[in-house]
């Protein structure tokens, strides 16, 4: 089994807030991330595909194909958008880095043409990231 990774970057805004909590509770839980107009991040996304090497091509998946899939299915929907307002797949979901990683997994899991989606790793800052492997 070999693991290949496509890395993409995108910029997007979010506000961490739970509509079921009071303003005071939201402030206590999310602090600055609860700021009413939201704030932006430069996200780094790593999509890892696992599979056997195809002896004809030497590839697990042609990384040009993986790039196209990730850009079409994910980046086009999130880059320069706001997770709380105009990103369909996050509707009604608190846009933490954990939940966004799961949302991206769901967008990609049935789109990988060769090999299998193994992991979605999403960096929100240099030091904070979430990784989802489908369970």
Catalytic positions = 33, 80, 124
| Span of 26-34, 42-50, 63-71, 84-92 interacting with Ni ion by CB under 5 A | 26-34
As measured in angstroms, the least distance from the Cβ of 35 to Ni ion is: 9
As measured in angstroms, the least distance from the Cβ of 125 to Ni ion is: 8
Nearer to Ni ion, 98 or 114 (CB): 98
Question: Which residue's beta carbon is nearest to the bound Ni ion?
Answer: 33
As measured in angstroms, the least distance from the Cβ of 69 to Ni ion is: 26
In the chain, what is the straight-line distance between the N-terminal and C-terminal CA atoms, in Å? 20
Nearer to Ni ion, 33 or 107 (CB): 33
The site for Ni ion, by CB under 5 A, has a size of 1
The site for Ni ion (CB under 5 A) is made up of: 33
């Amino acid at each position: 089994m070999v693991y290949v990774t496509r890395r993409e970057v995108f910029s997007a805004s979010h506000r961490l807030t739970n509509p079921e909590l009071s303003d005071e509770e939201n402030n206590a839980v999310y602090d600055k991330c609860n700021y009413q107009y939201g704030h932006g991040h430069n996200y780094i996304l790593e999509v890892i595909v696992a599979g056997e090497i195809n002896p004809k091509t030497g590839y697990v998946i042609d990384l040009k194909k993986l790039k196209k899939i990730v850009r079409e299915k994910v980046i086009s929907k999130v880059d320069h958008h706001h997770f709380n307002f105009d990103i369909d797949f996050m509707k009604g979901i608190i846009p933490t880095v954990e939940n966004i990683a799961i949302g991206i997994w769901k967008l990609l899991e049935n789109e990988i043409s060769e090999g299998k989606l193994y992991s979605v790793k999403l960096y929100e800052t240099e030091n904070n990231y979430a990784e989802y492997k489908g369970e």
